[in-house]
Amino acid sequence: MPPTYDAVIIGSGFGGSIPALRLAQAGKKVLVLEQGRVYTEQDFKQSWDLKYLSNLLSITTSDDYATFFRSGMVLGGGSVVFSGLMNRSPSETFQFVDDNGYKVWPDAVTRQVLDPYYDMVEGMMQIRQATWNEVSKTGGMFAKMLDNVGLTCDRARFPYVNCRQCGYCEAGCIYGAKQSLMHNYIPQAQAAGVEFRTGCRAMQVLPAAAGYTIEYTGPDDTLSSVQGTIVIVAAGTVYSAELLLRSKPSLPQLSDQVGQNFNNNGGVRFGIELPDGLPSIECYKGMDSAGVMTYAYWKDYGITIEAGTSPASIFTLNIHRQGDLGWGLGFKQWAHSVYPSKLIIANIMGPVTGEGSVYLNNNNLASVHFPLTQNLAQYISSKIAPIQALATANKAYLLQTMPSGYMYSIDHMLGTCRMGDDPARSVADGNGQVRNYPGLFVSDSSALPCGTGVNPSTTVAANAERIAQYIVTNW
């Protein structure tokens, strides 16, 4: 008989640590299995070297090798390695109808429903709107470009306390200024009795007499098992789907939607080369996010845009002028001419139909299929058009940033175990409970059915709070 818990949670990011705390506060005995290891401020480095980052991140490519995806693989998950921008999803997001005519969000989940949970998350993580003095020059210049054509730009919201603006948020904040889950939910959960086991990779979920058995490998690669009356899968969009797909032989009634509807939050990354004659924006200075977000295109185009600061490492990506090469002497000279004074990198976000998928490869591990479909190409083309107009109006230059002329955001992965009202088109119900398997929940980014219109972490966190409350009330 394996050790038994009231709840076993797989993953320690927003979707895992938040329910862990709430269930423990309700008196439940909780175990969290985390594949990554524990990192503290003393362990972080100001470095973009993959040799270092691969200790914090899981890096996946799409099966056509065109796109890289990254997800946090460390105690605290994505909260440790995200840029920190934490805005609420606009109300219209929850009414999104996809290209198939399906309203993807459950009716039970609206902005109004989530607002109290957003409040909880914002309180726990000390999220606040940036002051203008925290908005970097990059952000200020982006705001000015919008203002030049009569458009608005707002200061964004962040979980930062005494930020030093060093520009290494996504490598782990060495100053402890970013209030990741390591600063709030996780220590409070530990104090409430939650047991966190790191270096543990869940391999399979099996039905048990009372709940479910989780088989997992530990740091020494030995196979162990635990049992939970409740099991919450919160391993991130790729690995939650991987785990459930691998569990399908023992959970045969799982929806055939597991792994489907993969999307990247409608992310399209682009660059702007500023014209000559402006003061240098010193684009390496500031938070990883430039501190601003424009909603100017939300009403007409269904997108928001965040601007970011840029380390020189941005030039490892295929960012270059249209028609030029992304390498060679000309590229080197061009990069030197625009950096760090004239380069703005920004990211479009918006609800989009999820046409990608996660499936098991021959090694029983996740592969991501994320093709540039006709719909997606059309989405990118339609969303980049107003940005081209913005650049032109400012005598700036819109830069091509990716192979084949596009760039998918390499984070913000959503949708593979989505909630929904239609059992035929969703993995879980509106409470995050997996259909046909009472007590089995998904509470992470995989449960969100479409792009959130903004950076998704706040909505992932608020939804996890909501699901946790449902579990506490009903289990």
Partner 1 sequence: MDNIKITESIAERDLNRRDFFKWIIRASVAATVFGLLDQISCGTVPQTGVQTSPYMVPQTADEKTVYALCDTVLPGRTSDPSGAPGAVDAGTMDFAYDKFYGVVQEFPLVLPLFNAEAQKQYGKPLYELDLAQRTTVLQNSETLLGLIDQIYMFLKGPFYIGMISTLGLEYMGDPGPNLGYRNQDFSFYKPMSTEITSDGNLP
Residues 307-326 that bind partner 1 (CB under 8 A): 311-318, 323-326
Q: CA–CA distance from 322 to each of 173, 275, 310 (Å)? A: 35, 16, 20
Closer Cβ to partner 1, 80 or 146, answer by number: 146
Contact pick of 30, 114, 143, 194 for partner 1 (by CB under 8 A): 143
Provide, rounded to whole angstroms, the least separation between the CB of residue 208 and partner 1.
26
Provide, rounded to whole angstroms, the least separation between the CB of residue 176 and partner 1.
12
Closer Cβ to partner 1, 24 or 80, answer by number: 80
Contact pick of 116, 147, 381, 382 for partner 1 (by CB under 8 A): 147
Provide, rounded to whole angstroms, the least separation between the CB of residue 399 and partner 1.
14
- Residue 367 in 3-state DSSP? strand
Residue 456: cis peptide before it, omega within 30 degrees of 0: no
Contact criterion met (CB below 8 Å) for 242 and 359: no
Which uninterrupted H or E stretch holds 196? strand 195-198
Residue 166 one-letter amino acid:
C
Contact pick of 17, 18, 28, 35 for partner 1 (by CB under 8 A): 35
Contact pick of 12, 17, 71, 136 for partner 1 (by CB under 8 A): 136
Residue reference for tokens 């046909």: 436
- What the block records as the tokens of 57 is 């991140």
Chain residues 339-368 in contact with partner 1, contact rule CB under 8 A: 339-340, 361-363, 365, 367
Contact criterion met (CB below 8 Å) for 57 and 13: no
Closer Cβ to partner 1, 22 or 201, answer by number: 201
Q: Is 222 in the site for partner 1 (CB under 8 A)?
A: no
Provide, rounded to whole angstroms, the least separation between the CB of residue 314 and partner 1.
8
CA pair distance 374, 118, nearest whole angstrom: 35
Closer Cβ to partner 1, 152 or 392, answer by number: 152
CA pair distance 4, 151, nearest whole angstrom: 57
Q: Is 50 in the site for partner 1 (CB under 8 A)?
A: yes
- Residue 331 in 3-state DSSP? helix
Contact pick of 249, 336, 422, 424 for partner 1 (by CB under 8 A): 336
Q: What count of other Cβ atoms lies within 10 Å of the Cβ of residue 446?
A: 35
Q: Is 40 in the site for partner 1 (CB under 8 A)?
A: no
Q: CA–CA distance from 162 to each of 81, 126, 178, 307, 344 (Å)? A: 18, 12, 9, 21, 25
Closer Cβ to partner 1, 15 or 167, answer by number: 167
Contact criterion met (CB below 8 Å) for 406 and 372: yes
Residue 114 one-letter amino acid:
L
Q: Got the DSSP string for 345-380?
A: EEEEE------BEEEE-TTS-EEEE----HHHHHHH
Residue 199 one-letter amino acid:
G
Contact pick of 3, 187, 193, 219 for partner 1 (by CB under 8 A): 219
Chain residues 78-107 in contact with partner 1, contact rule CB under 8 A: 87-88, 90-91
Give the binding range for partner 1 (CB under 8 A) out of 332-340, 409-417, 432-440, 461-469: 332-340
Q: How far is CA 431 from the centre of its chain?
A: 20
Residue reference for tokens 């969100």: 448
Contact pick of 135, 376, 434, 468 for partner 1 (by CB under 8 A): 135
Strand partners, 58: 71
Closer Cβ to partner 1, 155 or 248, answer by number: 155
Q: Is 119 in the site for partner 1 (CB under 8 A)?
A: no
Q: Any residues with CB less than 8 A from the CB of 99 and at least 6 apart, and which?
A: 353, 375
CA pair distance 352, 301, nearest whole angstrom: 12
Give the binding range for partner 1 (CB under 8 A) out of 54-62, 76-84, 226-234, 438-446: 54-62
Residue 422-451 contact track with partner 1, rule CB under 8 A, x = bound: ------------------------------
Contact pick of 2, 3, 46, 223 for partner 1 (by CB under 8 A): 46
Chain residues 175-204 in contact with partner 1, contact rule CB under 8 A: 175, 199, 201
Chain residues 383-412 in contact with partner 1, contact rule CB under 8 A: 402-405
Q: Any residues with CB less than 8 A from the CB of 390 and at least 6 apart, and which?
A: 145, 146, 149, 151, 396
Contact pick of 2, 3, 27, 49 for partner 1 (by CB under 8 A): 49
Closer Cβ to partner 1, 326 or 354, answer by number: 326
Chain residues 448-467 in contact with partner 1, contact rule CB under 8 A: 453
**Sign of the alpha-carbon torsion through 259, 361, 81, 134:** negative
Chain residues 269-298 in contact with partner 1, contact rule CB under 8 A: 281, 284-286, 291-293, 295-296, 298
Q: Is 330 in the site for partner 1 (CB under 8 A)?
A: yes
Contact criterion met (CB below 8 Å) for 142 and 283: no
Residue 213 one-letter amino acid:
T
